[in-house]
């Protein structure tokens, strides 16, 4: 089924990459000056963290069947419209940072930037929110599909 809405988000915050670069540079400097082999493992850890942040992405799709969400490489969900009790696009504010946030008043929040998202309550009682940078487009598609009111 062809999606009516697609959004792919990545961690693009310049300050995040600056922190990783500064820390790695400090470790390399210490490695060169002190020659400690234990610093190699720290540098390797920095490289793994950088690779992780580089590959992380939040993909959201909305189509005639429901909502698909993937927080690559960790989570993949497909929610059919029949499973959804309610949904709305909202400003959920600060939820403790970015990434996967558990135990918020919106349930589990998946986001990489910003404070707006699609809040979903399932008929099972479970709640989740998926961050978006395209809240107006998302809301428009949901209205077009008849899933939220005017």
| 25-58: pLDDT as tens digits | 776 766 667 666 666 677 777 777 777 777 889 9
CA distance 103 to 109: 8
| Cα separation values, 74 from 11, 12, 55, 99, Å | 15, 19, 11, 11
Q: What is the pLDDT of residues 125-140, one digit of tens each?
A: 999 999 999 999 999 9
pLDDT-derived band at 62, boundaries 50, 70, 90: very high
pLDDT at site 101: 85
Q: Considering the entire predicted model, what is its pTM?
A: 0.77
For the chain, what is the domain count?
1
Q: Is residue 85 part of a domain?
A: yes
Domain of residue 112, residue span = 78-144
> Residue 18, exposed/middle/buried by CB under 10 A (0-12, 13-18, 19+)?
exposed
Is there a contact between 59 and 133 (Cβ–Cβ < 8 Å)?
Answer: no
CA distance 67 to 20: 34
Residue 111 above 80 pLDDT?
yes
Q: Is residue 125 part of a domain?
A: yes
Is there a contact between 119 and 127 (Cβ–Cβ < 8 Å)?
Answer: yes
Q: Is residue 36 part of a domain?
A: no
C-alpha angle 2-73-6 in degrees, rounded to nearest 5: 25
Q: Is residue 5 part of a domain?
A: no
Q: Is residue 108 part of a domain?
A: yes
Q: Is residue 51 part of a domain?
A: no
pLDDT at site 68: 97
Determine how many CB atoms are found less than 10 A away from the CB of residue 137. Answer: 16
Is there a contact between 57 and 73 (Cβ–Cβ < 8 Å)?
Answer: no
Q: Is residue 120 part of a domain?
A: yes
Q: Is residue 115 part of a domain?
A: yes
């Amino acid at each position: 089924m062809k999606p009516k809405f697609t959004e792919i988000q990545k961690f693009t915050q310049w300050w995040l990459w600056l922190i990783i670069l500064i820390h790695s540079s400090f470790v390399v400097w210490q490695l060169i000056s002190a020659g400690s082999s234990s610093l190699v493992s720290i540098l390797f850890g920095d490289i793994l963290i950088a690779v992780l942040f580089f590959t992380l992405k939040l993909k959201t799709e909305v189509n005639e069947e429901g909502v698909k969400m993937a927080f690559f490489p960790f989570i993949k969900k497909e929610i059919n419209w029949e499973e959804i009790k309610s949904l709305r696009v909202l400003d959920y504010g600060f939820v403790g940072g970015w990434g996967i946030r558990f135990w918020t008043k919106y349930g589990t929040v998946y986001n990489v930037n910003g404070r707006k998202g699609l809040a979903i309550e399932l008929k099972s009682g479970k709640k989740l929110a998926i961050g978006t940078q395209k809240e107006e487009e998302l809301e428009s598609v949901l209205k077009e599909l008849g899933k939220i009111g005017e």
